Amino acid sequence: MTALWQQPLTLPNGATLKNRIMMAPMTTYSSETNGDVSDQEIAYYARRAASGIGAVITACAYVQPQGAGFIYSIGAESDDRLPSLKRLAAAIKDNGSTAILQIFHAGRQSNGRVLNGGTPVSASAVAYPREGAETPRALTSDEVEETIRAFGEATRRAIEAGFDGVEIHGANTYLIHQFFSSHSNRRDDKWGQDRRAFPLAVTQEVKRVVSEIAPENFIVGYRFSPEENTDPGFTIEEKLNLIDQLADQTLDYLHISLGQFFDTSYTDEEGTSRIARFAEVINGRTPLVGVGSLNTKQQIDQAAASGYAELFAIGRPIVTDPEWYPKLVERKEELLLTEIDPTNQDALDIPDQLWEKILNVTGWFPVKQTSSK
């Protein structure tokens, strides 16, 4: 019998994914300085799309110049990026996978170095609680509206470039997350009085553009973090309320951001997993994408058997081994590459800048230790 995660899934809009495995969005740090996708990124995505996975969600693409969060990241902020975005969409689709562009704004998670001396922006002028974080400038009311429209414009570009969908990045402390957080949003206007207003407005603007110009089966997903571990910060109960509202927006999926699939809440003494609580609130209204240390067939089977998620996003395993999916399907787990071999970059089609990060950021990827003589 074919495992659940190998089976097709038809999304609410009628689009069908050939299986339930998605490549998780992971920053590549490898685009050109102007935001164009590099040749190395094209090869990186094409290789992994060709492995048979159902969908590839790209690294986050910024929707405004001041929304860039990293040097050498993907741009979707200008029509000048359309040729680049078309190359990226084609690289994924021509190799058999569904192509989803993740769109975002970094907000206060950016800095002057990334912004060429500019000041990062956010809901309020409150720095991220990290040593060395820059204090952002609070967006004006007009700028908030411009940013919402920028998400719509980036969606238009994704449609024109040939992508199959977009994922709104509302997670991981970026701007949408910042507007929802009581730590970063101290506003007294409508964007602060109801901290759900900005994420809901962005979602509605993206859906408006899709309804006007996209093919019928264009996918709209939304990624979210379940809670914050800061004081102040949003609780899991507050996020459950927002996700309850988003589940009524006829989205094609909701994508929870977790370190471990069965992680429990910071405040939950009963041990109920976060994903179980969100699955209960969503209650089948739209598919939920689960993520978090799903490295082996046994782990994915266990996640699928829980019934909490319909889709499964895989990050580091697919970077480490581009043929991860077919090896699992063909029951050849003994052939999986589980560590990055520092001598094996070309064989893995990993871009130079990402390769340097992998080798130098301790604990991010498992890296094979080589003996030095």
Residue 341's pLDDT is 96
Residue 370's pLDDT is 77
74-119 pLDDT, tens per residue?
Answer: 999 999 999 999 999 999 999 999 999 999 999 999 999 999 999 9
- Residue 209 class from Cβ within 10 Å (0-12 exposed, 13-18 middle, 19+ buried)? buried
In whole numbers, what is the pLDDT of the chain averaged over residues?
96
Residue 173's pLDDT is 97
- List, for the chain, all residue ranges whose pLDDT scores fall below the cut of 70: 269, 371-373
CATH class for the domain made up of 4-360: alpha beta
Residue 1's pLDDT is 79
Residue 373's pLDDT is 46
* pTM for the whole structure: 0.97
Domain map of the chain by residue range? Answer: 4-360
- Residue 55 class from Cβ within 10 Å (0-12 exposed, 13-18 middle, 19+ buried)? buried
Residue type, 240: L
**Structure tokens, 138:** 């609070």
Contact 178, 184 (CB under 8 A): yes
